[in-house]
Structure 1
Amino acid sequence: MTGVPALTTELVAIPSHEDETAAGDYIEDWLREETGAAVERDRHGNVIARKGSGEDSLALVGHHDVVPPEASQVGDDGFRVEERDGRIYGRGAADMKGAVAAAMCAFRDADPDCELVFASFVGEEVGGTGARGAIEDGFSPDYAIVGEGSTNYSKDGVTDVVIAHRGRRGSTIHVEGAAAHASEPEAGENAIYRATDAIETVRNLEFPETTVLGHEIRGSVAVTEIEGGTAWNVIPDACTVTVDERTVPDGRAPLSHVEEIPGVTLKIDQDLPPMACDEPAFGDFVFEAATAVQEGDPEQVLKPHATDAGWLAEAGTTCVVCGAAEPGEAHTKDESVSMAALDRCYDIYRRCAEEFELSG
Structure 2
Amino acid sequence: MSLEHTNVRDELVSLTRTLVSIPSHRDATAVGDVIYNWIENNTDAVAQRDSHGNIIARRGIGSVSIALTGHHDVVDPDEQQVTDNGEYQLTKQNRRLYGRGTADMKGSLAAALLAFRDIVPADGIEVVFASFIGEEDGGIGAQAAIENGFSPEYAIVGEGSTNYAGVKQTDVVVAHKGRRGSTLTAHGEAAHASEVDCGINAIYRASDAIDILQELAADAPVASVGETEISGSVAVTEIDGGTAWNTIPDTCQITIDERTVPGKRAPIERAAVEGVTWSIDQDLPPMACDDPTFATAVTNVAANIHSETTPRKVTKPHATDAGWLSDAGTTCVIVGAAEPGEAHTAQESVSIDAIERCYQIYRAVPSQHCIDNNECWSSD
* TM-score after normalising by structure 2: 0.93
Structure 1 unaligned blocks of 5 or more? none
Which residue pairs with 1:219 in the alignment? 232
Distance of 2:223 and 2:162 partners within structure 1: 24
Which residue pairs with 1:82 in the alignment? 91
Distance of 1:192 and 1:115 partners within structure 2: 57
Which residue pairs with 2:44 in the alignment? 36
Which residue pairs with 1:97 in the alignment? 106
Q: Deviations over 1:151-189 (max 9, x none)?
A: 000010000000000111101111110001101111110
Which residue pairs with 1:11 in the alignment? 19
- One-letter amino acid of the structure 1 residue matched with residue 56 of structure 2: I
Which residue pairs with 1:143 in the alignment? 154
1:25 aligns with 2:33: yes
Distance of 1:61 and 1:14 partners within structure 2: 20
Give the secondary-structure state (helix, strand or coil) at the position aligned to 1:69.
Answer: coil
1:301 aligns with 2:314: yes
* TM-score after normalising by structure 1: 0.98
Runs of 4 or more consecutive aligned structure 1 residues displaced over 4 Å after TM superposition: none
Q: Deviations over 1:182-207 (max 9, x none)?
A: 01111110000000001111111120
Distance of 2:370 and 2:115 partners within structure 1: 18
Shift, 1:342, TM fit: 0.4
- One-letter amino acid of the structure 1 residue matched with residue 169 of structure 2: V
1:172 aligns with 2:183: yes
- One-letter amino acid of the structure 1 residue matched with residue 339 of structure 2: E
- One-letter amino acid of the structure 1 residue matched with residue 111 of structure 2: A
Distance of 2:73 and 2:287 partners within structure 1: 21
Distance of 1:79 and 1:210 partners within structure 2: 40
1:208 aligns with 2:224: no
Which residue pairs with 2:59 in the alignment? 51
1:1-360 aligned within 5 A: 3-77=11-85, 78-113=87-122, 114-205=125-216, 206-259=219-272, 261-295=273-307, 296-358=309-371, 359-360=374-375
Give the secondary-structure state (helix, strand or coil) at the position aligned to 2:213.
Answer: helix
Shift, 1:353, TM fit: 1.6
RMSD, matched Cα: 0.9
Shift, 1:76, TM fit: 2.5
Distance of 2:185 and 2:101 partners within structure 1: 36
Shift, 1:345, TM fit: 0.2
The size of the alignment, in residue pairs, is 359
Give the secondary-structure state (helix, strand or coil) at the position aligned to 2:243.
Answer: coil
Give the secondary-structure state (helix, strand or coil) at the position aligned to 2:306.
Answer: coil
Shift, 1:326, TM fit: 0.4
Among all aligned residue pairs of Structure 1 and Structure 2, give the percentage whose two residues are the same amino acid: 58
Shift, 1:354, TM fit: 1.4
Give the secondary-structure state (helix, strand or coil) at the position aligned to 1:270.
Answer: strand
Q: Deviations over 1:319-338 (max 9, x none)?
A: 00000000110001010100
Distance of 1:194 and 1:166 partners within structure 2: 30
Distance of 2:75 and 2:366 partners within structure 1: 30
